[in-house]
Amino acid sequence: MALFFHYLSLPYLLEGIEVTLQVTALGLIGGLMMGVILASMQLSRFAVLAGFARGYSIIFRGTPLILQMVFVYDALPHIGIKLPAILAGGVALAANEAPFISEILRAGVLGVDRGQVLAGQALGMTPGVLMSRIIAPQAIRAMIPAFGAEAVSALKNSSLASVIAVQELTLRSTQLASSTFDFFSIFFASGLIYLCLTGAIAIIQLVVEAWLDLDRASSQKRLLRLLPWYRSQPDGEPIEVAEGGIVDAGVAELPPSRPKLELVDHAKRAEMLRRNNIAVGVEGLRKRYHKQIVLDGVEMTVRIGEVVALLGPSGSGKSTLLRCINHLEGWEDGSIRVGGRRLGFADSGRKLSPRELANERAEVGVGMVFQQFNLFGHLTAKENIAGPLRWVHGWSRIDADRRAFELLERVGLGQRADALPRHLSGGQQQRVAIARAIAPNPSVLLLDEPTSALDPELVNEVLEVIRRLAIEDGLTMIISTHQLRFAEEVADRVVLLSGGTIVEEGPAREVLTRPRTTVAQRFLSAMAEE
Amino acid sequence: MRKRLFIEELMRRLSAAGSRGAVFAAIVIAGLCAPVVAKAAPSGCAALAEKYPDWKGKTLVNAINPHTPGYEAIDPKDPNKYVGFDIDLGEEIGECLGFKVTYKAVTFAALLTTLASGQADIVISDIYATEERAKAADFITYSKVFDGVLVAKGNPKGIHGIDLTLCGAAAAENTGFVEVPLVQDMAPKCKEAGKPEPTLQLYDNNANCIQAILAGRADTYVNDVNTVDNAVKANPDKLEKAVAVTIPYSVGIAVPKDKPKFEEAVMAVMIEIYKSGDQLALLKKWELDPNNLKEPGLLTVK
CATH code for the domain of B257: 3.40.190.10
pLDDT of residue A226: 61
**Is B113 an 8 Å CB contact of chain A?**
yes
Indicate if the pLDDT at residue A176 is higher than 90.
Answer: no
Residue type, A193: I
pLDDT band at A219 (very low <50, low <70, confident <90, very high): low
The predicted structure's pLDDT at residue A231: 52
Q: Do B105 and A167 touch (CB under 8 A)?
A: yes
- List of chain A residues whose C-beta atoms are within 8 Å of the C-beta of residue B204: 174
Per DSSP, B135 falls in state G
Q: Is the pLDDT of residue B217 over 70?
A: yes
Cα dihedral B210, B211, B212, B217 in deg (nearest 10): 130
Q: What is the phi/psi pair of residue A426, to 5°?
A: -55, -45
Task: Write down the pLDDT at residue A1.
Answer: 78
CB proximity B210 to A under 8 Å: yes
Averaged pLDDT, A436-456:
92
**What residues in A contact B211, CB-CB < 8 Å?**
183
- Read off the pLDDT band of A230 (50, 70, 90): low
Q: What is the pLDDT of residue A246?
A: 44
Q: What pLDDT is recorded for position B2?
A: 43
Distance CA A300, CA A314 (A): 20
The string over B40-72, giving b where at least 16 C-beta atoms fall within 10 Å of a residue's C-beta and e elsewhere, is: ebbebbeebbeebeebeeeebbbbbbbbbbbbb
Q: B120 and B156 share a domain?
A: no
DSSP 8-state secondary structure symbol assigned to residue A508: H
Q: Do B80 and A74 touch (CB under 8 A)?
A: no
A245-287 per-position pLDDT tens digit: 444 556 777 787 765 555 567 778 888 888 888 899 999 999 9
Contact A440, A367 (CB under 8 A): yes
SS (H, E, C) A92-115: HHHHHHHHHHHHHHHHHHHHCCHH
Nearest alpha carbon to residue B296 among B143, B145, B142, B144: B142
Residues 58 through 77 of chain A touching chain B, CB cutoff 8 Å: 70, 73-75, 77
Instruction: For residues B264 and B139, state if they share a domain.
Output: yes
- Can you give the pLDDT at residue A131? 93
The one-letter code for the residue type at B236 is P
Tell me the three state secondary structure of residue A304.
coil
Q: Is A82 close to B118, i.e. CB distance below 8 A? A: yes
Topology of domain A251-256+264-529, CATH:
Rossmann fold (3.40.50)
Which letter does DSSP use for residue B282 in this model? Answer: H
More confident site: A165 or B170: B170
Q: Count how many domains chain B has.
A: 3
- Taking the Cβ of residue B204 and every Cβ of chain A, the question of whether any pair is shorter than 8 Å is answered with yes
Strand partners, A308: A478, A493
Both B279 and B163 in a single domain? no
pLDDT (0 to 100) of residue B109? 84
How does pLDDT run across B119-137, given as a tens digit for each residue? 999 999 999 998 889 999 9
Describe the crossing of helices A426-438 and A114-122 by its angle, rounded to 10 degrees: 30
B79 to chain A: closest CA residue: A12
* Cβ-proximal residues to A386 (8 Å cutoff; 6+ apart), any chain: A395, A397, A400, A401, A403, A404, A439
Distances from the Cα of B119 to the Cα of A75, A403, A458, B5, angstroms? 10, 66, 73, 21
A6 contacts chain B (CB < 8 A): no
Distance of alpha carbon B223 from alpha carbon B147, whole angstroms: 5
Selected residue with higher pLDDT from B178 and B190: B190
Q: Which of A12, A13, A165 sits opposite B105 (nearest CB)?
A: A165
CA distance A507 to A307: 10
Question: Which chain A residues contact residue B68 at CB under 8 A?
Answer: 178
Amino acid identity, position B33: C
In a shared domain, residues B118 and B157: no
CA distance A342 to A324: 12
Instruction: For chain A, give the mean pLDDT.
Output: 87
For A339-348, A506-515, B165-174, B232-241, which range has the lowest pLDDT when averaged over its residues?
A339-348
Does B67 lie at the interface with A, CB-CB under 8 angstroms?
yes
CA A112 to CA A130: how far, in whole Å? 11
Chain A contact for B111 (CB, 8 A cutoff): no
Which residues does B206 contact at the CB level (< 8 Å), separation at least 6?
A178, B67, B68, B174, B223, B227, B231
Chain A CB contacts of B119 under 8 Å are 73-74, 77, 82, 85, 165
User: Measured between CB atoms, which of A82, A163, A176 is closest to B79?
Assistant: A176
| Chain A residues near residue B75 by CB distance under 8 angstroms | 179
Q: Is pLDDT above 50 for A243?
A: no
Which of A73, A82, A176 is the closest to B74 by Cβ? A176
Q: Is residue A174 very low, low, confident or very high in pLDDT (cuts 50, 70, 90)?
A: confident
Nearest to B110 among A13, A163, A181 (CB): A163
Tell me which chain B residues have a C-beta less than 8 angstroms from the C-beta of A176: 74, 76, 79
Residues of A within 8 A of B85 (CB-CB) are none
Q: Quick one: pLDDT band at residue A229, thresholds 50, 70, 90? A: low
Amino acid (one-letter) located at B15: S
Three-class secondary structure of residue A129 per DSSP: helix
Domain regions of chain A by residue span: 2-213, 251-256+264-529
* Best B119, B205, B229 residue to mutate vs chain A (most A CBs within 10 Å): B119
The answer to whether residue A80 scores a pLDDT higher than 70 is: yes
Burial A127-150 (b: 16+ CB within 10 A, else e): bebbbebbbbbbbbbebbebbbeb
CATH of span A2-213: 1.10.3720.10
What percentage of chain B has pLDDT greater than the value 90? 58
Across the range A331-339, mean pLDDT stands at: 88
Asked whether the beta carbons of residue B207 and residue A171 sit closer than 8 angstroms, the reply is: no
Give the H/E segment covering residue A268.
helix A266-275
Stretch A44-59: mean pLDDT: 93
- Report the gap between the CA of B105 and the closest CA in chain A (Å): 5
A12 touches chain B (CB under 8 A): yes
Contact residues on chain B for A183, CB-CB shorter than 8 A? 207, 211, 214
Q: What is the pLDDT of residues A392-417, one digit of tens each?
A: 999 999 999 999 999 999 999 999 99
pLDDT digits (tens, 9 = 90+) for A81-103: 888 889 999 999 999 999 999 99
The yes/no answer to whether this complex scores an ipTM above 0.95 is no
B63 and A165: CB-CB below 8 Å?
yes
CA distance A157 to chain B (A): 17
Q: Is B61 on the interface with A (CB under 8 A)?
A: no
Selected residues 265-304 of chain A with any CB under 8 Å from a CB in chain B: none
Q: Is B30's pLDDT higher than 70?
A: no
pLDDT value at residue A235: 47
Indicate if B203 and B165 belong to the same structural domain.
Answer: yes
**Pairwise CA distance, residues A69 & A426, whole Å:** 54
State how far the Cα of A122 lies from the Cα of B40, in Å rounded to an integer.
83
Mutate which: A10, A18, A70, A175, vs B, most B CBs within 10 A: A175
**B175 close contact with A: CB closer than 8 A:** no
Alpha-carbon gap, residue A130 to B250, rounded angstroms: 69
**What is the reported pTM?**
0.78
Q: Residue B1 pLDDT more than 90?
A: no
pLDDT digits (tens, 9 = 90+) for B218-257: 999 999 888 899 899 999 999 999 887 877 789 999 999 9
Q: Do A74 and B76 touch (CB under 8 A)?
A: no
Interface of B with A in 244-263 (CB under 8 A): none
Q: Shortest CB distance from B105 goes to which of A15, A171, A180?
A: A171
Instruction: Report the percent of chain A where pLDDT is more than 70.
Output: 92
Q: In what order do the strands lie in the sheet with B72-74?
A: B67-68, B72-74, B82-83
Q: Do B76 and A180 touch (CB under 8 A)?
A: yes
CB–CB contact A174 B207 (8 Å): yes
Claim to verify: residue B127 and residue B255 sit in the same structural domain: yes
Question: Inter-chain contact A74–B231, Cβ cutoff 8 Å?
Answer: no
How far is it, in rounded angstroms, from Cα B284 to Cα B294? 14
Q: Based on the domain organization, do B104 and B161 belong to the same domain?
A: no
Q: Between the CA of residue A192 and those of A15, A155, A189, A442, B203, what are the distances in Å?
A: 15, 14, 5, 62, 24
Q: Which residues of A touch B114 (CB under 8 A)?
A: 73-74, 165
Confidence check: pLDDT of A241 > 50: no
Q: Is A14 near chain B, with CB under 8 Å? A: no
Based on the fold, state whether residues B244 and B254 are members of the same structural domain. no
Residue A230 near chain B (CB below 8 Å): no
Assess whether pLDDT exceeds 90 at residue A115. yes
Which pLDDT value is given to residue A436? 96
Say if the Cβ atoms of A175 and B66 lie within 8 Å.
yes
Report chain B residues whose CB lies below 8 A from the CB of A165: 63, 104-106, 110, 114, 119
pLDDT in tens, A460-474: 889 889 988 888 888
Both B256 and B136 in one domain: the answer is yes
Which domain does B209 fall in, by range? Answer: 146-248
Q: Which carries the bigger pLDDT value, residue A224 or residue B275?
A: B275
Distance from CA of B172 to the nearest CA of A (A): 16
The pLDDT of residue A222 is 58
B260 in the same domain as B137 = yes
Spatial separation of the C-alpha atoms in residues B137 and A84, rounded to whole Å: 22
Q: What is the pLDDT of residue A263?
A: 55
Question: Which residue from A minimizes the CA distance to B78?
Answer: A12
Rounded average pLDDT over A366-370: 93
Tell if the CB–CB gap between A82 and B119 is shorter than 8 Å. yes
Question: What pLDDT, on a 0 to 100 scale, did the predictor assign at position A260?
Answer: 55
> Does B129 share its domain with B167?
no
> Residues near A206 by Cβ (< 8 Å), separated by ≥ 6?
none
Contacts of B148 (CB under 8 A, 6+ apart): B222, B223, B224, B225, B226, B227, B228, B229, B241, B242, B243, B244, B245
Is residue B8 scored above 60 in pLDDT?
Answer: no
Give the nearest chain B residue to A172 (CA atoms): B79
For residue A168, give the chain B residue with the closest CA: B105
Cα distances (Å, whole numbers) of residue B99 to A432, B56, B102: 77, 5, 10
Whether the predicted pLDDT of A185 surpasses 80: yes
Smallest CA–CA separation between B102 and chain A, in Å? Answer: 12
Cβ-based contacts of B206 with chain A (< 8 Å): 178
Asked if A77 lies within 8 A of B119 by C-beta distance, the reply is yes
Burial A53-72 (b: 16+ CB within 10 A, else e): beebbeebeeeebbebbbeb
Asked if the Cβ–Cβ distance from A176 to B76 is below 8 Å, we say: yes
Distance in angstroms (rounded) separating the CA atoms of residues A133 and A378: 10
Across all residues in chain B, what is the average pLDDT?
85
User: Does residue B206 share a domain with residue B258?
Assistant: no
Instruction: Say how far apart CA A118 and CA A328 lie, in whole Å.
Output: 7
